[in-house]
Amino acid sequence: MTTPQIGTFISSWHELGVAVPTPWGVTQACESQVLSLMTRLDAGYRRQGDHAIHHTAVVEPGAVLKGAIIIGPGAFVAAGAYLRGGVYIASNCIVGPSCEVKSSFMLDSSKLAHFNFVGDSLIGANVNIEAGAIIANYRNELEGAVIRIRHAQATLDTGVRKFGALIGDGCRIGANAVIAPGAVLEPGTRVPRLGLIDQFAYD
């Protein structure tokens, strides 16, 4: 069984100092991971309870932040965005109007356009996700079955019921595409508009 190495998908991952080895391990403990990262932030961040927002970031009125949240330099979070459950937004990221991000990491210069849902996922740098695209995190049609992933000619049993995706640097996901729970996207992957990526191991 070959577990995806986060650092081979997200080149700057090791700079964060998150020691959890599996993508689903990180997202399961996202709240505590973000709180731990807060202890190492520099003086450029303003602390408001469990939120740390860089002084150059913009969070518009009407955005909702719940739980441990870090928003990095130059990032933009639009009105109507909803961040919850431990969220790390790195420098120069955009979370557009009516986007929901739950228990996820977004690395530098990645963008959610608007009307997106990202659940329990790791998103690399310079990823662009167009309007309406969804990164789902729960197998509703299988009554929340444990997520098993086809990857590198093997089946990975994550042992968790909620995990979205590991999305490598530079991926492009088209409008209204669906990334089904348990996806692993190599860096530079292109997903067309209305596309479906489903790597679940049903057998």
Query: What length is written for the chain?
Result: 203
Q: Is the pLDDT of residue 153 over 90?
A: no
97 token code pair: 């109007």
Domain definitions of the chain by residue range: 6-197
Q: What is the pTM of this model?
A: 0.97
Residue 202: pLDDT band (50, 70, 90) is: confident
- CB-based burial label for 87 (10 Å; 0-12, 13-18, 19+): buried
Catalytic residues: 114
Q: What is the pLDDT of residues 59-90, one digit of tens each?
A: 999 999 999 999 999 999 999 999 999 999 99
Q: Percent of the chain at pLDDT above 70?
A: 99
How many other C-beta atoms lie within 10 A of the C-beta of residue 90?
23
Question: How far is Cα 138 from Cα 48, in angstroms, rounded to an integer?
Answer: 31
SS3 13: helix
Choose between 1 and 11: higher pLDDT.
11
Q: Is the pLDDT of residue 1 over 60?
A: no
Q: Are 113 and 129 in contact (CB under 8 A)?
A: yes
Q: What is the pLDDT of residues 112-129, one digit of tens each?
A: 999 999 999 999 999 999
Q: Which fold has domain 6-197?
A: UDP N-Acetylglucosamine Acyltransferase; domain 1 (2.160.10)
Across the range 80-104, mean pLDDT stands at 98
Q: Are 121 and 139 in contact (CB under 8 A)?
A: no
